[in-house]
Chains A and B, each alone.
Chain A
Amino acid sequence: MSFTHLHVSTAFSAHYGVSWPEELAQAAHADGATALACTDRDGLYGTVKHLKACMEAGIDPIVGVDLAVFDDDGDHRTQVAGRVVVLAHGHNNGAGYRALCRLVSDAHARTSGKAGGPVPVAVTRAELASRTLHPETLEPVLTVLIGPDSDVGRAMGGRRYLRPRTLFKRWLDAMPPGTIAAEAVTQLSAPGEPYSTAHAVRMLKLAYEHNVPAVLSNAVRYCAEDGAATADVLESARTLKSLPELSAAPMLQPNGQGWLKSAEQMLELGKEIIGAAGYGAAALGTLLAETEALADTCRIDPVLDMGWKQPLVPEASVIGIGGDPLRELSQRCDAGITRRFPGISGQAKERMRSRLEHELAIIGDLGFASYFLTVAEVSKMITGMGVRSAARGSGASSLVNYLTGISQVDPLQHDLIFERFLSGDRSTLPDIDIDVESAERHKVYRMIFKRFGAERVTLMSMQNGYRARGAVRDAGLALGMDDGDVGEIAKQLWRFSARKFREALVEKPELRDFAGRVEAGRGEQGGMEENEQLDMLVDLTERLDRLPRHISMHPCGVILGDATLLDRTPVQPSGLGLPMSQFDKHDMDPMGMLKLDVLGVRMQSAMAFAVREVIRLHPSKAEVVEAGRHPTGPDGTGPDYIFTDGTIDLNAVPLDDEPTYELIRSTHTLGCFQIESPGQRELVGKMAPRDFNDLIIDISLFRPGPMKSDMVRPFLEHRHGFAPEVYPHPDLKPVLQETHGVTVFHEQILRTFDVMTQCGLAKADEYRRLLGSEAEPEVEAIFRREARARNYPAEVVDKVWGTLKAFGSFGFCKAHGAAFAVPTYQSAWLKAHHPEAFLAGLWEHDPGMYPKRLLMAEARRLGIPILPLDINRSRAEYRVERIEGGPERGKLGIRLSLTGIYGLSGTELKRIVAGQPYDSLADLRARARVSKPNIKRLAQLGAFDALHRDSGGAASRADLVHHLQMLQNRPSRKGIELVEGQLALPLGDVELRNLAPELPEPTMVDNVRAELDLMAVDASGHLMESHRPLLDRLGVTTADKLLGLRNGSEVLVAGVRIATQTPPMRGGRRVVFISIDDGTGCVDTVFFHEAQEQSGPLLFGTRLLLIRGTTRRTGPRGISLSASMAWDLSRPETLPLGQNPAAGVGIPEEFTHPGPLDGISRNLAITGLGS
């Protein structure tokens, strides 16, 4: 016999289910089942994966949901009365699935989209009833299972017989006939408890008494017994209560019997229920037959019911075309030619034409014209909004994309191959990704909804699974461990999967202390030492690994469909308010959904900001040309890409500006897109890019693959002429010349295949995709045969195949590189010509990998004044200002922004800016209504210093802060309000003037500490400054002096952590890169295995580091440090201060006084490393 489980939660029932759809489907199939249901809680989160798993296992999928139902008697908006399972009927052209989708969307419609909102995910009984019938035929399309968690089931405790019956009858009254069934579940819990046989019996009797069919299920939460403990831990994570608390409540599952039991075991359970009910053998047959009958009704046809792999694109009418989409696309491309290639003629024109026809033919064959028109429509809409955008990825390989304005890269100029993007041999929709200004992204989303209609658009979601840190935190919570203690352990977990925790304990030096504690905790059981349960913590952490925690809005995915989209995906509100699909990126292709990646890129916002600042400061072409030292040109008016009002058209800036490449070669590229990381600064230093193609190569080389497989070194040797370029065969020279004989790009692989086998580029791309796969031997056989047939010598074929094979794991699409290189170049151009505006843009939008404070240090290094916070001059954003007086008169400085001050609310900020300027504190209080603590914070940050000076007061900032603190402590008193019509006398600030000077000015350390505490930046001075005496005593070398040292010198360096990276490495041994900033620049250090062993917990846990290492010269402008040892600078007693004069003599006070970071806990914002 076989049995069909109709109530199964997968792992995608977040914090509830334990097992993956694949495991469940395989287990069901192995037991002889022919169908399996997936009924995740609150949504269809696992449904598409379930479909795929069932198809792979060769069984029929059944889809449903486990939903809460609002209590008809209680508050209809917040109180739920139990949960039911709703199953979709199949083989009805999707009517069942459609109703299920809409029902799930109903359940989420009232929620806020934010975690912990007051409204639960639930449906009313009326909504449920209204969805159960086909809207036209009025046939049932859904079945509702009334089971142990329903209001009926929950009322069965004790000896109440009437209540469950009343509740059951209510269901009968509310639901159309033929849409409900009773669900009998026994998990063999203690007699009379929920999920006991006794309860199942009562449910069964209730059903038969009312002539309702009953089915047997096991309310499955895990595939096998072993999952029960994991389910307990998930229960704890969901309720935020420890296992002891849950167990006492009692709120845990009654026992561990909720697994996918075999048909035989289910038969035994059926017998037990029927026996306990006092029914005969025939009743057992009925129970099982009705279960299978419902299962049969609910078998889903993936294609006909759910539209499996059926493409769904917006209707032609929506994108504004009446006729043939391909003809329309072709016309739009023609229109683009004059814009993109003005005056093109002769051979160039022919080449371009034939490329265009080639692309259009492939697009036509695949029937993707309306897809391209849709993307072009979105792209046009974004441009129309005045938002910067750029296509990224392989979409840049397409001339059609260039002509229709989707992409900004000319594929002919950079020799990009269309087949890498799309070919007749592949039928999946290609990905076109559009980068937009991050600050405008939500606006763009809203416009897409408006443009295509809310019924055709939804955001895509993503599943967030447990990683090591979250897993250890929740495992600790389950065990009731101390938060702080678990937090300390979590801090040391660095980029490995939770599943490998125990392995990591042995291997990773930073976990050495913890591993020791685990070992110690294994003392005798019940011994004197308190059992720390650390061994258990490790086991539970491993159990949580990868399990989904929640879904959230995908950072860029927008799903576009036709008017039936919401029949095919359930939606729920995102944090943004816009609806979000319950499907993630893995579900798009199976469901035939068109996903557009509209990615918010902060660098685009930063650049747009910088360009606006340039115009604001220099409102004419002449001023911009002068300020940016742009070429004046033959007629002396400056370049065309600067308009008369000073607007810079960044996309039109020629890609050959020498000062830009000089800046890049200097390696002072902090803040520049893609080339600011420690590794990239090293690479650009070595490579010294001279033109745009060099930038493309640089970006393509800086990938895990090429770095890992040592492509970079031979490339650089050939480039700099240290070693002669070699080509395996003269025929390949044109293909490999641009990279000096080294294969870097996917495009080169395609051409190599094509040159040597004449297979055509589409086939070549197919071969490329098979490299490194199981089918590689076949590709090898074809390659060798065809190349030999064309008379290439055997050794050439061997050598080239070696390269192709090695390429399987790496290489980069040149089109990606070219698309990336555009903003790289543009950002470097801005930094070279308008550094103040560019840095202001970076501070405002924080695009890079580093904490903002490092870019403030960069301003200091460039000699750009950082202007303090000022209540009358600071705005809600950073601003470039011309300095009016003092020694720096005439220079451009950057004024700090009021945004991002700890505690200051958005509305206070708006009021402050709206009311500027203020002539006194009283004025500020009266008009901006800033809270007392925030006034004090502003004072601490020096925002009133100028006002204070103007008032003529003699007191210090410390006096003012003290005064405001006193006011804050005093009970609030209604201020004296001005009578309307009465003018405030322009007395200046009496309050400030009359302040008695008692306290000295705060020290630099105090000021910097306040800035770090309240703004996470050190603006008035570098935070390392105050450690200088200690560093001098230690004999530390500063970053700016390193370049002058010989290779291999041993030095001590010190600074604040700014970057921590553990890239994958050749040979598999972990390497840790730590960069620190000491105020004169960055020091990039690398910790190999031995140094990691030496440094242990300091690797990831320390903000201020002292590092000993040996210099490694990496190029004419680059130097880094191979570390041998690290210390925590904030623990002076551990530092290598040399022989102390005498034992017992302490460390001098000047070395131990607290630095600006003392007592500041904002690790992530300051060091880039979260805790």
Chain B
Amino acid sequence: MGIFSESIDVDCTPDGQPAELRWRGLSYVVCADPLRWYERRQWWVEESRAPLGSGAGLVDHEIWRVQLKRSPDPRTREAGDAATEPPLTLDLVRHVGSGRWRLLRIHDAAQSRTAEPDEPAQYA
């Protein structure tokens, strides 16, 4: 068992909040204050080891809920379609140890898109 999710490229503000990201070839900007929380993991199933000194990120992972708008097209400097699209809400996971980002859930039901599993997440 494991969480299957896409890897995502995220740029953060200096205090560590996501600001922009690239997903499926498109660029997005965060358009509202993101929410952050920590959710527990079934670490006893997902991991095979938990020695003393494993450090942070064994028991929980950091979740960010971000509202996104498409970035304006740099070539035309116009918002184009992006301006009229409703914002997209994504839940992202940041692995505390490695700092890598993955997509966890897509909230926008209208888009009826789902994260397609491409590779298992590695939290070790």
Query: Which residues of A are interface residues toward B (Cβ below 8 A)?
Result: 187-191, 196-197, 225-226, 228-229, 232, 243-244, 247, 252-257, 478-479, 522, 525, 531, 533, 535-536, 539-540, 542-543
Residues of A within 8 A of B42 (CB): 243-244, 247
Whether the Cβ atoms of B48 and A479 lie closer than 8 Å is no
Q: A191-B35, A255-B38, A543-B52 are in contact. List 16 more A-B contacts (CB 8 A).
A: A188-B38, A189-B38, A191-B37, A228-B60, A229-B59, A244-B42, A254-B40, A255-B39, A255-B60, A257-B38, A522-B48, A531-B48, A535-B49, A536-B49, A539-B50, A539-B52
* Contacting residues, chain B, for A536 (C-beta < 8 A): 44, 47-50
Contacts A191-B37, A478-B44 known; A228 to B49 CB distance under 8 Å?
A: no
The 5 closest A-B pairs by CB, nearest first: A256-B59, A255-B60, A228-B59, A225-B56, A255-B38
Q: How far is the CA of A253 from the CA of B55 in the complex (A)?
A: 17
Of residues 44 to 65 in B, which have CB atoms within 8 Å of A's CB atoms?
A: 44-45, 47-60, 63
**In the complex, what distance in Å separates the CA atom of A535 from the CA atom of B38?**
26
Nearest CB of chain A from residue B106's CB, rounded to whole Å: 17
Of the candidates A196, A253, A257, A542, which one forms a contact with B52 in the assembled complex, judged by CB atoms under 8 Å apart?
Answer: A542
Q: What residues of A have a CB within 8 angstroms of the CB of B50 in the complex?
A: 229, 536, 539-540, 543
Q: What's the least CB distance linking A472 to chain B, in Å? A: 15
Q: Which residues of B contact A531 (CB under 8 A)?
A: 48
With a cutoff of 8 Å between Cβ atoms, the chain A residues found around residue B36 in the complex are: 188
Contact A190 B48 (CB under 8 A): no
A497 to B52, CA, bound (A): 15
Residues of A within 8 A of B48 (CB): 522, 525, 531, 533, 535-536
Cβ of A187 and Cβ of B38 under 8 Å apart? yes
Find the residue from A232, A256, A542 having the highest chain B CB count within 10 A: A256
- Report whether A226 and B53 are in contact in the complex, using a CB–CB cutoff of 8 Å: yes
In angstroms, Cα B54 to Cα A622, docked, is 76
Contact A533 B37 (CB under 8 A): no
- Whether B59 contacts A189 by the Cβ 8 Å rule is no
Report chain B residues within 8 Å CB of A188: 36-38
Minimum distance in angstroms from B37 CB to a CB of chain A: 5
Q: How far is the CA of A759 from the CA of B24 in the complex (A)?
A: 86
Smallest CB separation, B50 vs chain A (Å): 5
Contact of B23 with A by CB under 8 A: no
Interface residues of B in 63-83 (CB under 8 A from A): 63
A residues in contact with B39, CB < 8 Å? 189-190, 255
Q: Per a CB cutoff under 8 Å, which of A189, A225, A243 touches B37? A: A189
Q: Are A226 and B38 in contact (CB under 8 A)?
A: no
27 contacts across the A-B interface (CB closer than 8 A): A187-B38, A188-B37, A189-B38, A189-B39, A225-B57, A226-B52, A226-B55, A226-B56, A229-B43, A229-B54, A232-B43, A232-B59, A243-B42, A244-B42, A244-B44, A253-B40, A254-B38, A255-B38, A255-B60, A256-B60, A533-B44, A533-B48, A535-B48, A535-B49, A536-B47, A539-B50, A540-B50
A197 to B35, CA, bound (A): 11
A197 to B38 alpha-carbon distance, docked (Å):
11
Cβ contact within 8 Å between A256 and B38:
yes
Question: For the complex, what is the distance from the CA of A963 to the CA of B47, rounded to whole Å?
Answer: 59
What is the 8 Å Cβ interface bit string for chain B, positions 14-38, against chain A (1 contact, 0 not)? 0000000000000000000001111
Q: Are B51 and A542 in contact (CB under 8 A)?
A: yes
**Closest A residue by C-beta to B46:** A525
In whole angstroms, what is the CA distance A225 to B55 when docked? 6
Q: Chain B interface residue count: which class?
A: 20 to 34
In the assembled complex, the CB of A220 is this many whole angstroms from the nearest CB of chain B, namely: 15
A228 CA / B54 CA spacing, docked (Å): 10
Minimum CB distance partner of B58 in chain A:
A229
Nearest CB in chain B to that of A236: its residue: B44
Contacts of A226 in B (CB 8 A): 52-56, 58
Minimal beta-carbon separation of A19 from chain B (angstroms) = 12
Q: How far is the CA of A225 from the CA of B38 in the complex (A)?
A: 13
Question: Shortest beta-carbon distance, A1025 to chain B, in Å?
Answer: 51
Complex CA distance for A542 and B49, rounded to whole angstroms: 12
Could you tell me the distance between the alpha carbons of A252 and B59 in the complex, rounded to whole angstroms? 11
Q: B43 contacts which chain A residues (CB < 8 A)?
A: 229, 232
- Neighbouring A residues of B59 by C-beta, 8 Å: 228-229, 232, 255-256
A479 touches B40 (CB 8 A): no
Bound together, the chains give a CA A257 to CA B59 distance in angstroms of: 9
Which residues of A have CB within 8 Å of B53?
226
CB distance from A765 to the nearest CB of B (A): 41
Q: Which of B45, B47, B59, B63 has the most CB of A within 10 A?
A: B59
Given the interface pairs A536-B44, A542-B51, the reply to whether A256 lies near B37 with Cβ below 8 Å is no
| Nearest CB of chain A from residue B90's CB, rounded to whole Å | 16
**A543 vs B58: C-alpha distance when bound (angstroms):** 14
Closest to B38 in A: A255
Q: Which residues of B contact A543 (CB under 8 A)?
A: 50, 52
Q: Specify which chain A residues have a CB less than 8 angstroms from the CB of B45 in the assembled complex.
A: 244
Q: Is the CB of A228 within 8 A of B58?
A: yes
Residues of A close to B58: CB separation below 8 A = 225-226, 228-229, 256
User: How many angstroms between the C-alpha atoms of A252 and B60 in the bound complex?
Assistant: 12
How far, in Å, is B41 (CB) from chain A's closest CB? 9
Residue of A with least CB distance to B62? A188
Chain B's closest residue to A479 (CB) is B44
* Shortest Cβ distance from B45 into A: residue: A244
Give CA–CA (A536, B45) in the complex, Å. Answer: 9
Smallest Cβ distance from B96 to chain A, in angstroms? 8
* Chain B residues within an 8 Å CB radius of A191: 35, 37
| Residues of chain B lying within 8 A (CB to CB) of residue A533 | 44, 48
Q: Which of B40, B42, B53, B55 counts the most chain A CB atoms within 10 A?
A: B40
Contacts of A525 in B (CB 8 A): 48
Residues from chain A with a CB closer than 8 A to the CB of B60 are 228, 255-257
Residues on A with beta carbons closer than 8 Å to the beta carbon of B52: 226, 539, 542-543
Q: Kindly list chain A residues whose C-beta atoms are within 8 Å of the C-beta of B47.
A: 536
Shortest Cβ distance from A502 into B: residue? B51
Query: A539 contacts which of B37, B51, B56 (Cβ < 8 Å)?
Result: B51
Q: How far is the CA of A531 from the CA of B50 in the complex (A)?
A: 15
Which residues on A sit within 8 Å (CB–CB) of B51? 539, 542
A232 neighbours in B (Cβ, 8 Å) = 43-44, 59
* Distance between Cα atoms of A536 and B47 in the complex (Å): 8
B51 to chain A, nearest CB (A): 5
Q: How far is the CA of A481 from the CA of B26 in the complex (A)?
A: 47
- The minimal Cβ–Cβ distance linking A1012 to chain B, given in whole angstroms, is 41
State the CA gap A535–B51 with chains docked (Å): 9
The residues of B that contact A522 with a CB separation of less than 8 Å are 48
Complex contact A190–B44 (CB within 8 A): no
Minimum distance in angstroms from A471 CB to a CB of chain B:
13
Residue of A nearest to B48 (CB): A535
Residues of A within 8 A of B35 (CB): 191
Nearest CB in chain B: distance from A531 CB, A: 7
Q: What is the distance, in angstroms, from A814's C-beta to the closest C-beta of chain B?
A: 44
A245 to chain B, nearest CB (A): 12
Chain B residues positioned under 8 Å from A535 (CB to CB)? 48-49
Q: Closest CB-CB distance, A975 to chain B, in whole Å?
A: 57
C-alpha spacing A187/B42, complex, angstroms = 18
User: How many angstroms between the C-alpha atoms of A397 and B52 in the bound complex?
Assistant: 47
Chain B CB within 10 A, most for which of A479, A533, A536: A536
Residues in chain B near residue A478, CB distance under 8 A: 44
Name the CB-closest residue of B to A543: B52
B-chain residues with CB within 8 Å of residue A540 when the two chains form the complex: 50
**What separation, in Å, do the CA atoms of A97 and B55 have in the docked complex?**
36
Given contacts A228-B60, A247-B42, contact A190 B37 (CB under 8 A): yes
Which residues of chain B are within 8 angstroms of A542 by Cβ–Cβ distance? 51-52
Known: A226-B54, A229-B50, A255-B60. A196 touches B37 (CB 8 A): yes
A257 and B38 CA atoms in complex are apart in Å by 8
Closest CB in chain A relative to B119 CB, distance in Å: 14
A247 touches B38 (CB 8 A): no
Chain B contacts for A197, CB-based, 8 A: 37
Task: Enumerate chain B residues within 8 angstroms of A228, measured Cβ to Cβ.
Answer: 58-60
Instruction: Enumerate chain A residues within 8 angstroms of B57, measured Cβ to Cβ.
Output: 225
Flag if A255 contacts B40 (CB, 8 Å).
yes
Shortest distance from the beta carbon of A733 to any chain B beta carbon, whole Å = 55
